[in-house]
Structure 1
């Protein structure tokens, strides 16, 4: 009985190895089917290269030679377009308690933080800062960033907590 079971196992093993050996025969390989998708992949890359976004919007010059372009009105738009390294990203506005303007897209991981003196671009997915000390030409000349928080501030020339001057007629004593 043991010999019969042993013979059956050896026979089954021989049949399975013979099937694997015939499957590896060069005449029956499916190699051409694998090469066809590989040829299509470079065509897709060429298509994305052709549709590379032309930078639109305001140019922000960053340290280390990085440049990003921001399209849209940062003082009123809820979604702005950021062109970073030839790709366009649509970043929706997030509300903050600090007064900084923040735009974050969870899909791409890009996070743009704008304060009156500079802008910073982060990649939350990679956990790194992509660009720092980004400024427009106006900011480099001494202006402030075109932020929503900056637009809500009162101009420096008109202080908020100063009492209006008394009229001259009321200030003079009556005789």
Structure 2
């Protein structure tokens, strides 16, 4: 999976609201907003995968594009991280047998190319085209989730 990242700026309002909320609701709100933003990237990647998928085969790269919470990263660093990728990655067929889209280990050949075949990327453009909409969606969902958490906290007081 290509590792692309970006920084958010101009989130002072959200940071001010975060100070009003305890750590647990803050993590829940952040995780919720991250998943909503990652879903936009996932949807765009699925659209790109449909473009390159061969409809005459039983395997579908698009059905294997997923969003996952990276719990190992969270345990190691304490930061929340969502990943958008293709289920199964580059594992063997035996491990990929349970994927609903079939065994699509070859997605990386399409994405990055080989020495005999040019690249036809769908994941990297999905991320690049989705940075602004995903950032806006994150801010919108995060603001909503924090407002709900603040309302719950004020009701309990």
Q: Select the structure of larger CA radius of gyration.
A: 1
> TM-score category by the smaller chain?
under 0.3
TM-score with structure 1 setting the length = 0.24
Higher strand share: 1
Higher helix share: 2
Choose between structure 1 and 2 for higher RCO, CA contacts under 8 A separated by at least 6 residues: 2
